[in-house]
Structure 1
Amino acid sequence: MSTGSGPAGDDNDRLSAFWSLFYISAALVITFLYYRNLGLWRLFEHARRWLEWVRVMLGV
């Protein structure tokens, strides 16, 4: 049984050009938000803390 990875695989595990550009663009947008609008970045950080707190309270 083949997992499709390794030298014998059939290159289906490579990212297409669309997804490569998507991930690069997302990284650039996140970097821009981080350096230009730290208040928005702090909002994301606080949201993550609240989600962790809710997860602990729910026992998930």
Structure 2
Amino acid sequence: MKFEGTQSYVATDDLKLAVNAAITLQRPLLVKGEPGTGKTMLAEQLAESFGTKLIT
């Protein structure tokens, strides 16, 4: 599995690198940021792109 972004979510190269490293290493990824910066949207798009359910 490799995350490349989706049609509705354009990820930066650094973010794609971090997400793919977490997937490869099978480790959690802590995403920090101010409200409204897209943290939840990233989780939703990851779940959608990998065909899994997002647990909130």
TM-score by length of 1: 0.30
Q: Mark the structure with the bigger radius of gyration.
A: 1
Q: Which structure dedicates a bigger proportion of its chain to helix?
A: 1
TM-score by length of 2: 0.32
